[in-house]
Amino acid sequence: MSVTHELTVALGARSYPIRIGDGLLGETARHLAEVGLTRPPVVVSDKSVAATAHFREMADSLEQAGLAPRVLVVPPGEASKSFGQLERLCEEAVAGGIDRKTPVIGFGGGVVGDLAGVAAAVLLRGLPFVQVPTTLLAQVDSAVGGKTGINLKGGKNLVGSFHQPRLVLADVGTLATLPPRELRAGYAEVVKYGLLGDADFFAWLEANGPGLLTGDPEARAEAVLRSCRHKAGIVAEDEHETTGLRALLNLGHTFGHALEALEGYSGRLLHGEAVACGMVLAFRLSVRLGLCPESDLERMRSHLDRAGLPVSMRRIRNEGYAPDTVLDAMMRDKKVEDGRLGLILVRGIGRAFVTKDVAPADVRAMLVEDEALTPAAG
């Protein structure tokens, strides 16, 4: 089956294609060859994903081309982004025989992509890397842009590097078997692109989001395309997050990471769910500071709500959070510099900007307001 969309992440000699379509996995070997990768790859995946028909389709394509992959599997979940798993992967990859042209493929969601990316970045001081994202979140965000990372006790993604892939192969067919909750969580990152810089895309999502969530493959491919186009443009301009442009992709994330930390990075709160709530809090803070019309807050909040995402802290934890606890967790974010919070705020839908000028007292007052607005259920 043919590629439906192709984009380029324009980084000079390190430019690479993002191919988006339905049924791409059956032609994995051809896609690799087209970017000059013709050696048997090391494939990193997780135990659940490696058992799927999608994985088999990719492996069959490689085997038929005489490129039988070495498959390295980690347990599903955030805990696999660890030095322990990284060491094991590297030892096993080396024991199986690799050289500087051996591609490393990350086949799965964000955890697998981030971990495989670190392995590719450090093995033999850098191997060619390919991202094959199989979740909506990975297809629209984590697989694009070269951020790799593992976690420390002190926080998420504190060890890693920028290591751009040579190819991103986003087969939207894999989304058909994604649990609905994971699809919704990934959808939050799609909405993020509309909210941060593309009001027309947000309006398109208001019309097409419900179809996308219930299974319309064309709407899915279009949403992945538009999200990747947005991200590719940002990465091309600010690859290493130095000008502030790439930081816009963190809309909702400082709040979201704090909530994830307070939930112990457990399955109780998925990253995309935390981001959805965090984006509402960022809009609420922007309204409070007189920067953003309240109608835009209501519009984005109701869209995320209709998509089944948590739009207030009490929708995550019924008994709520102590605002100071949330604020403390935010102050531990790696984007705090000189004791000042780095936040992404908005002047409206599609108009985000970076600031370090928000007083913690304003954040606290907004958190109190959010807690007060949604009474505990029952």
Q: Whole-number minimum distance, CB 215 to ligand GLY, in Å? A: 26
249, 275, 281, 304: which one binds ligand GLY (CB under 6 A) = 249
Beta bridge partners of 73: 45
Question: What residues contact residue 106 under an 8 Å CB cut-off, 6+ apart?
Answer: 44, 45, 112, 113, 114, 115, 116, 117, 120, 129, 130, 131, 132, 133, 143
User: What is the SS3 string spanning 179-219?
Assistant: CHHHHHHHHHHHHHHHHHHCHHHHHHHHHHHHHHHHCCHHH
> At closest approach, how far in Å is the CB of 250 from ligand GLY?
6
Q: How far apart are the first and last CA of the chain?
A: 51
Closest CB 348 distance from ligand GLY, rounded Å: 22
Per-residue exposure over 246-265, b if at least 16 CB sit within 10 Å of its own CB, e if not: bbbbbbbbbbbbbbbbbbeb
Instruction: Tell whether residue 141 is a contact of ligand GLY (CB under 6 A).
Output: yes
* Residue at shortest CB range from ligand GLY: 249
Residue 320 sits in the site that holds ligand GLY (CB under 6 A) = no
Closest CA to 282 of 208, 341, 223: 341
Q: Which of 31, 246, 257, 284 binds ligand GLY (CB under 6 A)?
A: 246
- Quick one: angle between helices 180-197 and 217-237, nearest 10? 50
Catalytic residues: 125, 147, 189, 231, 241, 246, 250, 253, 257, 271
Of 139-147, 289-297, 348-356, 364-372, which segment contacts ligand GLY by CB under 6 A?
139-147
Q: Which is nearer to ligand GLY, 169 or 366 (CB)?
A: 169
114: contact with ligand GLY by CB under 6 A: no
Instruction: Give the binding range for ligand GLY (CB under 6 A) out of 74-82, 140-148, 203-211, 259-267.
Output: 140-148
Cα(135)–Cα(186) distance, integer angstroms? 7
Query: Looking at 103, 106, 113, 145, which residue binds ligand GLY (CB under 6 A)?
Result: 145
Q: Closer to ligand GLY at the Cβ: 29 or 247?
A: 247
Q: Which two tokens stand for residue 362?
A: 């304003």
Interface residues toward ligand GLY, by CB under 6 A: 141-142, 145, 147, 246, 249
